[in-house]
Structure 1
Amino acid sequence: MKKLLQSLFVLLFIALNAMAQERTITGTVTAKEDGLPIPGVTVRIKNSTEGSTTNSNGKYSLKTTASGSIQLDFSSIGFGTVTKLLPVGATTLNAVLESESGALDEVVVTGYGSGRRISSVVGSVTVVGAKTVENKPVANAFDALQGKVAGLQVFSSSGEPSTTASLRLHGVGSLGASNAPLFLLDGIQVDESTILNMNPNDIETVSVLKDASSTSIYGARAANGVLYVTTKRGKVGADATITVQGQYTVANPASDEFYRNFLNTAQLSQLQIEQGLRTPAATASLLAEFPNDTKWYDYYYKKDVPTYQTDLTISGGGGKTAYYISGSFFKGEGNRFRSGFDRYTMRSNLTTTLNQYIKIGMNLSAGTSNTQTNGLAGNDTNGPLALLAQPWFSPYDANGNEYYGTVIPGWGRYSPRYIADKTPFTRNRLSFNPSGFVEITPVKNVTIKSQAGIDGFIDRETSARLASDVRFPGAGTLSEYYSRRINKTLTNTIEYRFSLEKHNFSVLGGQEYVDGVTQEFGANTSRLPNDNLFILQNGDASNRGVSSSKSEYAFKSLFGRLEYNFDNKYFIDGSIREDKSSRFGANKQTATFWSVGGMWRAKKESFLEDVKWLTDLTVRASTGTSGNSAIGNYESLATAAGSPNYNGLPGVAQSAAGNPDLGWERQQKTSAGFKASFLDRIRLDVEFYYRETSQQLINVPQAYTTGYSLVRTNVGALQNKGVDITLDFDVYRNDKHGAFVTPYINANMNRNKITELFQGKNYYVNPGTGVLWAIGEPVSYVYPMWAGVNPANGLPQWYIPNSGDGSVQTRTDPTAVTSTFSAANLQQNTGIQRYAWLNGGFGVAAGYEGIYINADFTYSKGKYMINNDRYFFENPTTFSGFNQSVTVLDYWKTPGQTATFPNLTQQFTQFDSRLIEDASFIRLKNLQVGYNLPRSILEKTKAVKGVKVFFLARNLLTFTEYTGPDPEVDSNISLGAYPNTRQVGFGLQLTF
């Protein structure tokens, strides 16, 4: 009995002592960017198995018997890992995690197989996170990437709400095929228009794959880089989080300087007197009848047009299943008449672990959008050239009533607004993008994955001239056009990861099949008698038309990748891919692409480990090949088309010559660079690249005696070389107050050079474009070179080109000029490059105690464009009687005068080098200022986890010397451009 009591006493003492030593650690984990709590964060005692996770409010509770000071690791996918020290005796420890692109070692998806820590990725990859993409007042998510990724040029060429962005990575890689990157949505190939028809707030990350090591695994489609978009997902073990958000903005053209630069009534009437078009007396009589000074721009463009967006998301996870569900509504009006875009989307992302061997997932996404565009574009005098209207005419009568449906007195025209209303164009799109995967782990470290997805849409386009149009009474026309596209992707991979002490290997093999089918049909009719009976069968039965078409393509691919690293210090990887495409000739359909890359994490070397000021240093290099197949589906075939070519009866005629030897456009890219971090505050990334394209897919001109003007052929070579530089640094950082100031700047400097053309040519002038291709030269503009106005006689002058060398060499000899204009005989290389040599962005992110500000500028230097608008608006002798720009007042009048334009007997403006303008610009692309309510206030509500209010603006400031409507247009020529919009507004986000 005594021994039993002694044993019980000892056990009780041990238990009481253990209870006395056990302590509970609590705290809250929040995001650095916005101060909101982060659910699902893993909290673990360093070098221990003891741990916990944060709940939906970002709180955790962890019991431990460890004594003394303790180190805790805080980690979560998409955030950097943070280690913090808990002092002796303390029981509370909070942490702030840095998310998305700010995290130094986030998990990224760069190709097939499982995600990898970015610090172990050999290739050049830039990751843009949700904070950059979301909460922008535009439909297209890629607009938010402008100026954020070194080497990626993003231009929005139109203020049309439904426009897609123009994207180009590391210059122009092809003179004949598309230069757009490959777009992947959760691993499935999609068209850029698919991104337009999804909610940007559903995007988790956009990974930009830039070098051969990261892109060659995609082979035939990756010559212009890869943009890999991943959508948001829930987290297993996290309570449901409900987010409701709304935002509202108003839009106006980003700059109205071009439109304000027209002659007023007094100026134009005086100019026309000087031209001899009207006597002073006749002018006085005219202005007495029409005493107006109309600013036609104010009539043609609407002011303060609204954009609305509302989002609802639910995410979380229970058991072994994670879910993310969202719905959104977007509606944006354009500043032009009948211009607008609205979109409804739904998304459901589900992943679940069935057992320890099988994981499955499914992404279901669908949406519908309605686009309305104004067909009065380009050089239509009822559209952009409506500004030629004389200011003394007015679209309103003396009582302010609009002349709508009646001729505007004196002008003799109907208002552009009326014409746009009577000639509507609409498009409805139903888009669907389902995808799913099955992932099996039959044995340790072996992963077998099958993934399939569809990128599909159904379009209905309607264009009409209403029967009520008084210009054509009872003669309504209607066209209906349907198209359906289904692109399918099926991918199977097997991946094996294993380690032998410090030697780490990853081997991946895979197969992929991609095909696309587009089917179209349409019908049209005329003489519709009534707007209320506007359907096809009500038109004239004798005047109807039908059309239909079908287009298909397919890719078959096999690929493999081997990765090796020693002690996570020395890395090497290689990939190989064989692609077969239906777009090429029977003997040229198959091509093989490869890459090899290496990386050295120099900071892990013993001689650098103790260098305190150097936080990180990684050196990388790669080389490899990829291909371009972005052409039509049947260009290798000699095709035929139906033709009423025999006594008006249906027949068949050959429509294309075809080219059975048509094959892959090939590209090799070599890159080398380094990434460094200093003092744990300064981060620098530098990468040099050399890109060579050969066997380009160019439409080569043919002798007209062949019956064909152009035939697609593999010819020519092009080089691009340049450097990407990215720098950001923490000027100030204080985790206790959530305070930070982090400016950034990035730049891409790129030069292109043509090294080979076709048919033995040293140069080629691309017809109708003003663009020159010349061996040994960059892509340049070719136009007659303006030499100024002769001050003695007021005659225009142009430089005479060198004889014998065509358009290649630039000659500006002041002793060799002529006043006789000839577009053909005077054209020469202007020496002005077609593509900008410098693009990038800069800005700052800052915050303090829940207040934050993000300002993002974008810039382009060396960007030039033909301002074709000036041909119409600076030509009073050619477009006599119409309104003009105020610049035409500077014309030659007296001998010895230095003037911009010649005397009134001459044509003021020709298609010459004067129209080529420097369209370099700096633009404040995005500005957002917000405030997150303190958690101390929200905790009292029990239900509300977060409240954020924010002000947002887009294209708030623009600095440029370009005189046209918008310098951002990505084209060699601008005519009647629909300018980008300046938007300002606010938003509210509630999280429950």
Structure 2
Amino acid sequence: MQKRYIIRDKCILLFTLLIFSIGTYSLFGNVRGVNFFDLAAYQHRIKGVVTDSDGTPVQGASVRLKGTSTGTFTNNEGVFYLEATPTDVLILSYIGFKKLEVIVGSSEELSLVLEEDVTDLGAVTVNAGYYSVKERERTGSISSISAADIEEQPVTNVLATMQGRMPGVYITQDSGVPGSGFQIQIRGQNSLRSDGNMPLYIVDGVPFTTQSMESFYTGEAVPGIINPLNNIDPTSIASIEVLKDADATAIYGSRGANGVVLITTKKGVAGKTRFQIGYTYGLGRVANFMDLMDTNTYLEMRREAYANDGIITYPANAYDVNGTWDQNRYTDWQEVLIGGTSDIIDATGSVSGGSEHTQFLVNGNYHKETTVYPGDYAYNKFGLNSSINHSTRDEKFKVHLTAGYTIQNNNLPGLSFMTDIYQLAPNAPALYQEDGTLNWENSSWENPYSVFETSYESKTNSLISNLLLSYEPIDGLEFKTSLGYTNNQFFDQMLRPSTVYDPAYEITSEFSNAYKNQVHFNSWIVEPQVSYKKEFSAFKTQLLVGGTFQKQVSSQLVHSTSGYASNSLLGNMTAASFINIATDDQTKYKYNAIFGRLNTSLFNRYFINITGRRDGSSRFGPGRQFANFGAIGIAWLFSEESWLENLNFLSYGKLRASYGTTGNDQIGDYQYLDTYTISGNSYNGIAVMEPSRLFNPSFSWEENKKLEVAMETGFIKDRLFLTVAYFKNRSSNQLVGIPLPGTTGFSSIQANLNATIENKGWEFTLRSEQFKNEDFSWSTTFNLSVNRNRLVSFPGLETSTYSNSYVIGEPLNISKVYQYEGLDSQTGLYQFKDFNDDDLLTRENDREAIIRFDPDFFGGIQNSIRYKGLSVDFLFQFVKQDRYTGEHSMGMAGRMGNQLNLLQDRWKQPGDIATFQPYSSGANSELRSRYLNYSQSNAVLDDASFIRLKNIAISYQLPRNILHGVTCSIVLKGQNLLTFTDYEGLDPEANFTNSLPPLQALTTGIQLHF
């Protein structure tokens, strides 16, 4: 420091002599116009500390000298160092904050405060896949969530983080079993095929497959518990963008028909090396049980059922009422089978940092989750993600490498026993005998705990990597190449020993079975691109041209074995007497495309974007492999017009519209070929090949035409921001299996069906900032989606095999059922409408009532509250919908098996006003027939609307002076905490009668940054 002062003093002396000389020369040499203060600026090292309005350091903020390329970034303490002169101007910028310009001056240390500007649309950049666009210049429909929203949720699947947060994106959970998947629809259902409605997932520029890897043999009992999206760790995600309209998706061509989900992982930032570690522990449980009968009520139902059937002496197999089982015994099977507590453990750690030109990040995560089922079962996941960015000093050449590797292990029960909850009588026998062995009660029941004798195990290894190279030889011209590689390896097996059966049957180990499934998936993609942008005064333009070359290879081997000498050898193929290869397949898929996009703007308020793509897919025959797709998007930033300058309350206003086409080739490989399959049959010891598919080279792409009109407005300096969008999509040329007569030897042929499906609706997003000052802020985001799906046309529907599944003018997700007319108070029988008045109730003529399962509307309300170091974020999700009633799958009231308590409102005698008909064990043919019709009528539809506190996150950041440079946050997170609904089933989110509902979870933890 002393040396610095000596140098400074010498400089002052030198400048004094220089000024004196200039002054003398000016007086005697007639020199005019010289400002000697221009020479007084000297370069010195300054230190800056950058914080937000709360005093929290802003790390990664860009600091530049105005008019130069010299600059740096703030470190994790918000500190930067830079050589500058007193007259230099510093420009500080960071996403989410207003840009700050400040003169350096003579001070050697600066304290700088960035003002938050979360609605600064000119600074916020949105990832649109092949390109990025500023929010204010966007012409397409793109919804996004940030890492802050994602990290608030104790979930393992990336789709779970999006529930209730995005308009037009409807997501439901398959099961509450750890590691299970989710269903997603982006602006409705476009294809008649259930497997033709999946969106395209892009992870750091690499397509990610969500193709199911389970086998019928190993996943038969617990379908959907293995989901490929679990390979993506939510804590490693920086942002998720969902592309919805034609302008946003057309650049992906045939892959964007059902929307595109862009997942961007976290990257390193320049500055001092930073470390982050976090640990959370929590508990999960089933939030709601069905209101089932106790033993007394149940036995009353059973006795009354036999009386109604005219049966005086109870049958020998009526163990619950004939005295075989203890009639004073009561077991709450919901509590026994799904009443446990799930442990949830998460641990994360990362290291990041780098210089101005090279940044890195390495992130590791571990997740363990047990189940609410009895027994020692767990889902384990370990992931490692890394990224490195490098640019040359002139920033013309850049390299960006990302890689993620995930290992999953799952040993969940091999079978689901959700149906046992209501199929078991409440006075069923004890589970175990006195010696600890399973109790089969003299072969009078199937012990539900026998499922624990079955062993299930799955293992998944997944690698996603991408290398992005770019070079900018001259300003505005950039060459870029993306090289991606994906590898998934999946193995699961189910071992079913003979001990799962009642020992009274004397079933030996020769009847034990083992099923194994192995899947390998490899994919690579190369996408070269070139872009050029140029400004001509008020006119700006940018051109992007690129290509796609992709190949993926998948293989699957499934075999079953049986005939073991001992159960201890189960699974060892060499010890099996019988080995059957059920599946041995390998498929290849090739995809090529060229694409282009032209962006233009005039006066920075008129925008036109034109997109085109030509796709080629190996899934279609010669002459049908290529198709063209394109779109146009326009936007008018009307708030920038001079004639609106006096509207002080309007801070932002934009009208945008788009129209275009996308396609769909989600039909599976080799569907157009006449293929042969090696069957399990043989002829003279030689394997037999059987024809499995008819040749049809004519079928081609599905086509989806999309239209959208939207308006975005901001008021009071964007503290109130409203977006209203209307869309209308039509999908045609449906790829389906068209049924054939049995005489052809084939059930169907793959072809294009001339059917048209329409999705239209409204989407609303309202964001408000109620309070904002140095200590306190409160903001709210509300989104609402009102979507309608309908079948517009289907030539020949009435005479096709689809006539009982679809109706012109109605949604695809419907069921044609009987029209329930109520309960006859005199007879006590269910009544139904006879549509053709022939006094007969038949499936063909009288199932004309329609029940609809698509939601009427859905959305969410999110609040973010900050007070000094305390932050509270919570989201309420709401859905207006109908679902099957809780008793729909429980069978006829009166048979052996428990029922909901509400079924006590049954008819007993003429004149009774009741909801349900008399109990019956099934022996009364009239009551049984009426019940079967009832179960296939609109009477079993229930209002399953709900409002749910989907998640809440409370975080408190300790003052920094407590841990001296270490940022410490204590967090509390909750998921599915409260549900307000009148639904009688386990859970209203989906039809969970036969699967575990989503769990209510509460976790707490600590996060350290240093």
Q: Deviations over 1:137-162 (max 9, x none)?
A: 22102201111111111211210211
The alpha carbon displacement at 1:778 in A equals 6.5
* Paired residue type of 2:948: R
Paired residue for 1:241?
Answer: 274
Which of 868, 882, 890 is the matching residue for 1:873? 890
Paired residue for 2:216?
Answer: none
* Paired residue type of 2:856: W
Paired residue for 1:267?
Answer: 297
CA shift in 2, pair 1:284/1:318, >3 Å: closer
Residues 1:488 and 2:509 aligned together: no
Equivalent residue of 1:195, what SS? helix
Matches within 5 A, 1:668-817: 668-680=705-717, 681-715=719-753, 716-734=755-773, 736-737=774-775, 739-758=776-795, 760-762=796-798, 766=802, 771-775=805-809, 779-801=813-835, 803=836
The 1-side partners of 2:284 and 2:76 are apart by 37
The alpha carbon displacement at 1:870 in A equals 2.1
The 2-side partners of 1:949 and 1:893 are apart by 60
Paired residue for 2:488?
Answer: 457
Equivalent residue of 1:276, what SS? helix
Paired residue for 2:358?
Answer: 321
Which of 425, 428, 442 is the matching residue for 2:456? 425
Residues 1:507 and 2:543 aligned together: yes
CA shift in 2, pair 1:961/1:89, >3 Å: farther
* Paired residue type of 2:391: T
Equivalent residue of 2:733, what SS? strand
The answer to whether the 8 A contact 1:393-1:409 is kept is no
* Paired residue type of 1:241: R
Equivalent residue of 1:956, what SS? strand
* Paired residue type of 1:691: N
CA shift in 2, pair 1:120/1:933, >3 Å: same
Relative to the length of structure 1, the TM-score reads: 0.88
CA shift in 2, pair 1:903/1:52, >3 Å: closer
Paired residue for 1:807?
Answer: none
The 2-side partners of 1:6 and 1:250 are apart by 74
CA shift in 2, pair 1:515/1:288, >3 Å: closer
Residues 1:519 and 2:550 aligned together: no
CA shift in 2, pair 1:733/1:360, >3 Å: same
* Paired residue type of 1:835: D
The 2-side partners of 1:627 and 1:430 are apart by 31
CA shift in 2, pair 1:626/1:7, >3 Å: same
CA shift in 2, pair 1:646/1:835, >3 Å: same
Equivalent residue of 1:297, what SS? helix
Paired residue for 2:62?
Answer: 42
The alpha carbon displacement at 1:60 in A equals 4.2
The answer to whether the 8 A contact 2:820-2:939 is kept is yes
CA shift in 2, pair 1:744/1:771, >3 Å: farther
Residues 1:851 and 2:870 aligned together: yes
The 2-side partners of 1:17 and 1:480 are apart by 81
The answer to whether the 8 A contact 2:340-2:373 is kept is no
CA shift in 2, pair 1:48/1:551, >3 Å: closer
The answer to whether the 8 A contact 1:86-1:93 is kept is no
Q: Deviations over 1:751-781 (max 9, x none)?
A: 12212114x22586758xx743325766533
Matches within 5 A, 1:954-965: 954-965=975-986
CA shift in 2, pair 1:891/1:435, >3 Å: same
Residues 1:250 and 2:283 aligned together: yes
Paired residue for 2:858?
Answer: 839
The 1-side partners of 2:19 and 2:358 are apart by 48
The alpha carbon displacement at 1:53 in A equals 3.6
Residues 1:949 and 2:973 aligned together: no
The alpha carbon displacement at 1:21 in A equals 13
Which has the larger displacement, 554-563 or 366-375?
366-375
Q: What is the root-mean-square deviation of aligned Cα atoms in Å?
A: 3.3
The answer to whether the 8 A contact 1:376-1:384 is kept is no
Residues 1:134 and 2:144 aligned together: no
The alpha carbon displacement at 1:960 in A equals 2.3
The alpha carbon displacement at 1:16 in A equals 13
CA shift in 2, pair 1:650/1:898, >3 Å: same
CA shift in 2, pair 1:764/1:922, >3 Å: farther
Residues 1:186 and 2:207 aligned together: no
The 1-side partners of 2:561 and 2:120 are apart by 58
Which of 231, 244, 253 is the matching residue for 1:197? 231
Paired residue for 1:75?
Answer: 93
The answer to whether the 8 A contact 1:306-1:333 is kept is yes
The answer to whether the 8 A contact 2:562-2:578 is kept is no
Paired residue for 1:10?
Answer: 20
Equivalent residue of 2:643, what SS? helix
Paired residue for 2:28?
Answer: none
* Paired residue type of 2:527: T
CA shift in 2, pair 1:611/1:61, >3 Å: farther
Residues 1:292 and 2:292 aligned together: no
Structure 2: unaligned runs, 5 residues or longer: 1-12, 24-35, 211-226
Which of 391, 415, 420 is the matching residue for 1:385? 420
Paired residue for 2:938?
Answer: 913
Matches within 5 A, 1:90-169: 93-96=111-114, 98=116, 105-113=123-131, 115-169=132-186
Which has the larger displacement, 575-584 or 911-920?
911-920
CA shift in 2, pair 1:853/1:465, >3 Å: same
Equivalent residue of 2:458, what SS? strand
Paired residue for 2:218?
Answer: none
Which of 402, 408, 416 is the matching residue for 1:363? 402
* Paired residue type of 2:739: P
Q: Deviations over 1:576-628 (max 9, x none)?
A: 10001111122211100011111112222212234321111121111111001
* Paired residue type of 2:441: P
CA shift in 2, pair 1:717/1:15, >3 Å: closer
Paired residue for 2:8?
Answer: none
Aligned residues: 941
Relative to the length of structure 2, the TM-score reads: 0.87
* Paired residue type of 1:964: G
* Paired residue type of 1:231: T
The 1-side partners of 2:321 and 2:693 are apart by 61
Equivalent residue of 1:331, what SS? strand
* Paired residue type of 1:888: L
The alpha carbon displacement at 1:63 in A equals 7.8
The alpha carbon displacement at 1:62 in A equals 6.9
Which has the larger displacement, 102-111 or 177-186?
102-111
Which of 190, 194, 199 is the matching residue for 1:173? 190
Residues 1:406 and 2:438 aligned together: yes
Paired residue for 2:79?
Answer: 59
Paired residue for 1:922?
Answer: 947
The alpha carbon displacement at 1:340 in A equals 3.7
CA shift in 2, pair 1:85/1:845, >3 Å: farther
The alpha carbon displacement at 1:266 in A equals 0.8
The alpha carbon displacement at 1:372 in A equals 3.0
The 1-side partners of 2:435 and 2:847 are apart by 46
* Paired residue type of 1:731: Q
The 2-side partners of 1:596 and 1:433 are apart by 33
The 1-side partners of 2:974 and 2:951 are apart by 6
CA shift in 2, pair 1:654/1:778, >3 Å: closer
Matches within 5 A, 1:321-720: 321-337=358-374, 340-354=378-392, 356=394, 357-377=396-416, 382-395=417-430, 405-409=437-441, 412-417=444-449, 419-466=450-497, 468-469=499-500, 471=502, 472-475=507-510, 476-545=512-581, 547-643=583-679, 644=681, 646=683, 649-680=686-717, 681-715=719-753, 716-720=755-759
The answer to whether the 8 A contact 1:108-1:117 is kept is yes
Equivalent residue of 1:955, what SS? strand
Equivalent residue of 2:248, what SS? helix
Residues 1:896 and 2:911 aligned together: yes
The alpha carbon displacement at 1:963 in A equals 2.1
